[in-house]
Amino acid sequence: MTNNTYKEIALKLHGYDKVLIFPHVNMDGDCLGSSAALCHALRGFGKEAYVLADDVTPRNLDFLESGVVTRDYDVFDEYDLAILVDCGSKSRIGERAAVFDRARENAVIDHHGVSENDTEFNFGIIEPSSAATAELIYLIASEMGAEVTLRIAQCIFAAISTDTGSFQHSNTTARTHKIVSEIYEVPGFDGNKIAQLLYNRKSLGAIQLEGRVISEMETFSGGRIIMSAVTQAHLIETGTLMNESDGIIQKLMSIDGVEIACVLKETDDKTVRASLRAKSYANVARVAKSFGGGGHIRAAGLTFEGTICEAKAEIAKALEAELVRSNDEK
């Protein structure tokens, strides 16, 4: 697929009445905020639109889903347009792919690497230089002539704030700040309120979980790689859900001298999810891809079939090799 311009996408979107929007599995702030913002914008033009999800919404993102998220696969029998948001492959929407395929036409709006795009779309845009998919949604909605309501502003801000690590990650650009400055002009918008909702509503158990997982961290390559694991036992002990562990990797990254952080998440006794982050030069997407996963150069993820012990050994080895390789490429 060749990229359409924001204007072309805006014009095309005006031509559909029933639309379903698909965020990726393991919902994060960008995919949910972007999907919800797009849904509100389409409804503003009188269209029937829903965000089809099947994950449990992480508790810090609950305020984004009101009124737009459905988990009913049959919300439409037949519909006009399916839009994949914040991912470029149907493999990233799990069982909802069957519903995606029922649409008359389909589209993609994403900011991951084009190499992950293995699905045929009628139109769309994949722009890896965009800090968040929400930047693209904002620009497309503007081209549509959509009114940026308070709701839309909150969704876009939450998406950009989470995907840039509060404007700290290397993906943050002047455009990111320009869009956010426009968001601050929307009547009633309160950035501090959204930051409190996103970052300061953790459960006591989540903090206990963070403490436990961080205290068990292991270092490799002389402290430049750091790894820790969240097991099912940890979740039971602290009364938490796996999605409450999402902030741990950021804490590991904050250690001086760390280039790569990895958090392993034990899904069950034979499946592990791994989150990978790099600080300034390592390419963790390359490692994720070598295990069948993907993501951005400095933030990627993968699913590993095996035990935590096996995942730890194999992924640590691959990360050590990546560190050598990315050092050589510097």
Among 20, 31, 158, 263, binds Mn ion (CB under 5 A): 31
The single residue among 6, 18, 22, 30 that binds Mn ion, judged by CB under 5 A, is: 30
CB closer to Mn ion, 247 vs 306: 247
Binding status of residue 134 toward ligand 5GP by CB under 6 A: no
Interface residue with Mn ion, options 86, 116, 244, 246 (CB under 5 A): 86
Question: DSSP class of residue 237?
Answer: H
Listed ranges 23-31, 47-55, 195-203, 251-259: which one lies at the site for ligand 5GP (CB under 6 A): 23-31
293 lies in the binding site for ligand 5GP (CB under 6 A): yes
Q: Tell me the residue length of the chain.
A: 330
**Single residue of 208, 231, 303, 307 touching ligand 5GP by CB under 6 A:** 303
Structural contact between residues 108 and 23, judged by C-beta atoms closer than 8 angstroms: no
266 contacts 304 by C-beta, under 8 angstroms: no
Nearest to 286 by CA among 274, 271, 272, 298: 298
Contact partner, 88, from Mn ion, ligand 5GP, none, Cβ < 5-8 Å per class: none
| Binding of ligand 5GP by 235 (CB under 6 A) | no
Cite the beta strand spans of 31-102 per DSSP E: 48-52, 69-70, 79-85
Name the 3-class secondary structure at 115. helix
The residue from 51, 84, 217, 299 that contacts ligand 5GP (CB under 6 A) is: 299
Does the protein bind ligand 5GP through residue 295 (CB under 6 A)? Answer: yes
From Mn ion, ligand 5GP, none, interface partner of 124 (C-beta below 5 to 8 A by class): none
User: Is 280 exposed, middle or buried, given 0-12, 13-18 or 19+ CB atoms closer than 10 A?
Assistant: exposed
* Site map 123..162 versus Mn ion, x via CB under 5 A: ----------x-----------------------------
Helices (H), the chain: 6-13, 29-44, 97-100, 133-144, 150-163, 174-184, 191-199, 204-215, 232-238, 248-253, 284-290, 308-329
Number of residues interacting with ligand 5GP: please give it, by CB under 6 A.
15
Nearer to ligand 5GP, 55 or 105 (CB): 55
Q: In this structure, what token pair is assigned to residue 157?
A: 């801000």
Are the C-beta atoms of 249 and 230 separated by less than 8 Å? Answer: no
CA 73 to mean position of chain CA atoms: 22
Exactly one of 109, 136, 282, 300 binds ligand 5GP (CB under 6 A); which one? 300
Q: Of the listed pieces 24-32, 45-53, 218-226, 250-258, which binds ligand 5GP according to CB under 6 A?
A: 24-32
Q: Which does 116 bind (CB under 5 to 8 A by kind): ligand 5GP, Mn ion, none?
A: ligand 5GP
For residue 205, give the amino acid letter.
Answer: G
238: contact with ligand 5GP by CB under 6 A: no
Nearer to ligand 5GP, 146 or 253 (CB): 253
Residue 321, SS3 per DSSP: helix
Q: What angle do CA 221, 225, 226 make, to 5 degrees?
A: 125
Q: Which residues bind ligand 5GP (CB under 6 A)?
A: 24, 26, 28, 92, 116, 275, 293-296, 299-303
Q: Which residues bind Mn ion (CB under 5 A)?
A: 28, 30-31, 86, 133, 163
